[in-house]
Amino acid sequence: MASTEIPLYRVQGTHYECGRTIGDLCRERILRRIANDLALLTPLFDFAQTEQGRELYHGFTEAIHLNFPWYWDELCGLADGSGVPLEQLLVLNFEKETRMTFHLLEETKTCDKHIEDEYEAHDCTTVLINRPDTHTVEILHNEDSSSALYDTAYLIEADIKSVAYNNHERQSSNEKFIAFCYAGVIPDTNSIAENYLVHYNHYQRLHKLVVERKALSLTRARERRGLELGEIHTVNDALILLGDQTDENYPIFCDPTK
């Protein structure tokens, strides 16, 4: 039985060097994550080799090279260190985009508008509790994307050094952070705003104007359930929230095994 402890790895160097070190340290976890989720990932790996898939990933890689070449170096380092093909790591890092494109194409081929994405409404929830009275911080997270992620994730404490790009026209930043990482995915953040609030309103850009759209039913349901549960003060409060399935249509926790 795999350990339930989440390992912490400390890495230092350039983006490429840190990526290669992570790949070397986490090779077994990356391979296990792929093996455990192979039924869901194989169609995406196969799609990435098709003409439409290559066109999709050409756009992704061009955008990375143009805007964030240091992240491309990090991905290459992760591939070199782990021995996992870069093409498969790209699928892991662009999994939702790949899955959406794949299913849209399948809908077009079959004229079936009801093909369901198994990950469609499965997004995780994280609770941060800052206790000034005890000078402690608790971080709690539920994992409802895929059961393959349960025992393959890890924490990275990184000290990344700046590197010059484009004949010294651009410079990557010095970075220091701690991140919770899915195996095979480079560290990132998700919609973190001032005071660490996640913005859930929906907007649409029309001719340089920003128009707020009507909130989705999922947004309204989660907001209502959050208000019902009230403020989170203790770890037990957070665990109740993270495991909540009272609303069958829009639960806080979506069991990925069902």
CA–CA dist 34, 29 (Å, integer):
9
Q: Across residues 122-144, what is the average pLDDT?
A: 82
What sign has the CA pseudo-torsion 196, 178, 222, 214? positive
Taking CA atoms, 72 is separated from 39, 55, 77, 93, in Å, by 27, 18, 9, 11
Residue 79: phi and psi, rounded to 5, are: -65, -45
pLDDT band at 115 (very low <50, low <70, confident <90, very high): very low
What pLDDT, in 10s, does the model give residues 43-84? 999 999 999 999 999 999 999 999 999 999 999 999 999 999
What sign has the CA pseudo-torsion 209, 210, 212, 213? positive
What sign has the CA pseudo-torsion 44, 48, 50, 51? positive
What was the pLDDT predicted at 23?
Answer: 98
What is the share, in percent, of the chain residues with pLDDT greater than 70?
79
* Residue carrying structure tokens 């953040």: 189
What was the pLDDT predicted at 2?
Answer: 55
Contact 45, 35 (CB under 8 A): no
Q: Which residue has the higher pLDDT, 90 or 136?
A: 90
Q: Across residues 107-124, what is the average pLDDT?
A: 57
Q: Which residue has the higher pLDDT, 32 or 2?
A: 32
CA–CA dist 241, 129 (Å, integer):
13
**pLDDT of 168 strictly over 60:** yes
**pLDDT of 194 strictly over 60:** no
What was the pLDDT predicted at 162?
Answer: 96
What was the pLDDT predicted at 251?
Answer: 79
Which pTM does this prediction carry? 0.77
Q: Which residue has the higher pLDDT, 241 or 146?
A: 241
